[in-house]
Amino acid sequence: MNSFSALIARDLRLACRQASDSLTVLAFFILVTVLFPLAVGPEPGILARIGAGVVWVAALLAAMLSMDRMFQSDYDDGTLELLVAAPIPLEIVVLAKASAHWLTTGVPLIAAAPLMGVLLNLEPEGYGALLLALALGTPSLSLIGAVGAALILGSRRGGALLSLLILPLFVPVLIFGVAAVEASLTDVSARPQLLILAALALAALALTPWPAAAALRQAVE
C-alpha cells in the first residue's frame, strides 16, 4: 500500500507540474458540450432529451485525450524499466497509474458535469443520477484505458490505435450511464443501472491490471 500511495503521489505531482494536460481535457469536455446546442438548436425540449447522452459522450471523449500518455512518459525516460524490475507487482503500478489518471481527469469532469447539465437544460431530477453514474463509470474508463495505453507503447499513431482498441469496451459504460439519468428523469429508480455500473467498475478493477501489466512487460523487453 505504501508503494501504491507513493506511485499515485508521484503521478499527481507530475500532473501538477503539467497542469495544462488536465486543463486541456476539461476544456475539450466543455467545448464539445457547448457545440451540441449550436448544432441542434436552442430548443429546450430537445436539449433536455439529449442532455445526458451529450454529457456522457463528451466525458468519454475527453477522458480518452490523456489515456495514451498514461505510461508514455515513463516509457520514454526509462522509468518504466525500473518499475518492471522493482519488487512491487506491476499490477499495482497499473492500478496506481489508472487511479492517478482518474483523479486528474475523471474528477474534474465530474465536477464540471452539473454546469454542462445546466447548459443543456437537464432537469433537476437528473443531476444526482448523473453525478453518481459518472462517479461509478469514469473509473472503468481509466482502468480499461490503462490496458489500451499499455498495448500501444512504442507504436506509431498510438492515439488512433488506442481509440480503436478501447472505444468498443466503453459502450456498456456509456449505455448504462445514460440509462441511469434517463430513468431518474422518468420517475423510475436508477438503482439497477447504477448497480450495473458499479459491477462494471469492480470487474474492470479485477481484470484489467493483468493484461496491462503483461503488455508493459512486453513493451520493455
Q: What is residue 17's predicted lDDT score, i.e. its pLDDT?
A: 81
- Rounded to two decimals, the pTM is 0.90
- What are all long-range contacts of 125-131, with beta carbons under 8 Å and residues at least 24 apart? 125/184, 125/185, 125/187, 126/51, 126/52, 126/181, 126/182, 126/184, 126/185, 128/184, 129/180, 129/181, 129/183, 129/184, 129/190, 129/194, 130/52, 130/55, 130/180, 130/181
Q: What is residue 159's predicted lDDT score, i.e. its pLDDT?
A: 67
Q: What is residue 80's predicted lDDT score, i.e. its pLDDT?
A: 83
Q: What is residue 174's predicted lDDT score, i.e. its pLDDT?
A: 94
Q: What is residue 173's predicted lDDT score, i.e. its pLDDT?
A: 95
Domain boundaries, the chain: 2-220
- Give tens-digit pLDDT for 24-44: 889 999 999 988 888 887 777
> Which parts of the chain sit beneath pLDDT 70?
1, 156-159
Q: Which residues of 154-174 are buried (b: 16+ CB within 10 A; e: fewer)?
A: eeeebeeebbebbeebbeebb
Q: What is residue 100's predicted lDDT score, i.e. its pLDDT?
A: 92
Q: What is residue 1's predicted lDDT score, i.e. its pLDDT?
A: 65
Average pLDDT score over the chain? 88
Distances in Å between the Cα of 99 and the Cα atoms of 72, 179, 215 are 16, 25, 18
Q: What is residue 83's predicted lDDT score, i.e. its pLDDT?
A: 84
Q: What is residue 111's predicted lDDT score, i.e. its pLDDT?
A: 93
